[in-house]
Amino acid sequence: MRLRARGQSLLADWQRLVLLGGLDPLMVKYNESINFDRILYKQDIRGSIAYARANAEAGIISRREFEQIEKGLQQVEKEWATGIFAIVPGVDEDIHTANERRLGEIIGKQVAGKLHTGRSRNEQVVCDMRLWLRDELRAIERHLADLLHVMAARAEREIDLVMPGYTHLQRAQPIRWSHWLLSYCLVFATDLEHLREVIRRVNRCPLGCGALAGNPFAIDRDMMARELGFDGLLWNSMAGVADRDFVTETLQWGAMLMQHVSRWAEDLIIYSTAEFGFVRLADAYSTGSSLMPQKKNPDSLELLRGKCGRAFGHMAGFMMSQKGLPSTYNKDLQESVEPMLDHVKTVSDSIQVANGVLATLTTDAGRMRAALDPSMLATDIADYLVRKGVPFRETHHISGRCVAKAEETGTPINELSYDQFCGIDNRFEKDIADVFDYDMSVERRSAKGGTSKASVLQQIKVIREML
């Protein structure tokens, strides 16, 4: 009985709310976006000035009215910039209504009310987002280019450091530290190419699309696009107001970049352990333990690795929000703004932290070289025999027998005697001893893309040309 009474009481409360009229106060807050889209204030004002100018050119408003609107909006922008803009709760639903409300207070509602003629918030919000995202992605482009410059500079400066290269986290073949650096540098360079393509698709103008059917006052869309620095127009008004693929593509790009950052960070975390000791992070990018004073934790790299999941979540979450939407604008699309804002900050901050980590870490050439093992030159033994005219499939088997002999006798493979090599295969000659030289091993990988000094310098040149 008590449960039934509780249910009836709740129903009565909701019905009284409906009779009072208006929105549920919680629904007001649920619907508002001003708390996060306020960051778009500058773009919203720029778009409104361009739109008002186009309306003046079309004769919808007078030149004097345009000048009043422009001056009023410039004052609104100053209020935002100086932190004195006062948001009116329950009235300023979003950045668009907040700016127009304040404009009316400054120049009068009669003139301010003409600003929105023929325009919809559907086109306005996507214009603001595209302007903001374009500028932020250009800043990210600069940060990523800086990271590539630092990577290339370190690769050039530390080109003589030789270390183990790994597959399956097992020591495989000797490589240059620079070659490892450039393996990620070239991946990030490809990310930079992709980013530039994304920026080009972001930078398209939706102003003049109206709510969905277009503008009825023959407004000059090309003029607005030029003023706002867009490269071109969105050519279908229905698609223009509904399109958030530019956000999705940014989130996809950022998720891919962060995946690469995460893998790079993981390698450095491993290389910075006491067991490896190849690198040491600067104090600016690591912390001590609250209990164990001897520890130095690679927090910066672990956070970079962790932020990858956050970036992927932005992408996956928003794609799920979009997947079942009918055509043109739906309020679900408001869910594009917050992940976009957080994603851009996450990616931008991550690139800058990665840059700081790399620029300030120190390398230990001795520990790198000490980690090399003669067994890593087993492939060089096979290559040696290939140069003697032996088919590779046969040389691979012979090299394996050499490794087995070293294990069987407990002798490092480079210390097997000439007679022991000849006992495995009589095509070995005394110059087999020359194979066991790590520096010569890396120099033999001289084809384009290899780990020889000339190949590494060529990679650096390619990267700088990409920049």
Model confidence at 195: pLDDT above 80: yes
Q: What is the mean pLDDT of residues 123-129?
A: 97
417 among known catalytic residues: no
Model confidence at 292: pLDDT above 90: no
Confidence of residue 32 (pLDDT cuts 50, 70, 90): confident
Burial letters 417-445, b for 16+ CB under 10 A, else e: eeebbeebbebbeeebeebbebeebbbbb
Whose CA is closest to 103, among 70, 151, 141, 126?
Answer: 70
Model confidence at 24: pLDDT above 80: no
Q: Pick the catalytic residue: 9, 96, 149, 168?
A: 168
Q: What is the DSSP string of 63-99?
A: HHHHHHHHHHHHHHHHHHHHT-----TTT--SHHHHH
For residue 25, what pLDDT is reported? 78
For residue 9, what pLDDT is reported? 83
149 among known catalytic residues: no
For residue 57, what pLDDT is reported? 96
For residue 428, what pLDDT is reported? 92
Q: Tell me the pLDDT tens digit for each residue of 56-72.
A: 999 999 999 999 999 99
The structural domains of the chain, ordered by start, are: 21-117 (1.10.275.10), 122-370 (1.20.200.10), 374-455+457-461 (1.10.40.30)
For residue 87, what pLDDT is reported? 95
3-state SS class at 169: coil
Taking the alpha carbons of 171, 175, 177, 178 in that order, is the dihedral positive or negative?
A: negative
Confidence of residue 293 (pLDDT cuts 50, 70, 90): low
For residue 8, what pLDDT is reported? 81
Model confidence at 391: pLDDT above 70: yes
Confidence of residue 148 (pLDDT cuts 50, 70, 90): very high
Q: Pick the catalytic residue: 289, 327, 417, 446?
A: 289
Model confidence at 291: pLDDT above 60: no
pTM for this predicted structure: 0.92
- For the ranges 106-115, 282-291, 335-344, 384-393, the lowest mean pLDDT is seen at 282-291
Q: What is the mean pLDDT of residues 441-461?
A: 96
> What percent of the chain clears pLDDT 70, i.e. is strictly above it?
97
Confidence of residue 289 (pLDDT cuts 50, 70, 90): low
Average pLDDT, the chain: 94
For residue 294, what pLDDT is reported? 65
For residue 409, what pLDDT is reported? 93
For residue 296, what pLDDT is reported? 83
- Report the distance separating Cα 371 and Cα 179, nearest Å: 17
For residue 4, what pLDDT is reported? 79
- Report the distance separating Cα 397 and Cα 278, nearest Å: 33
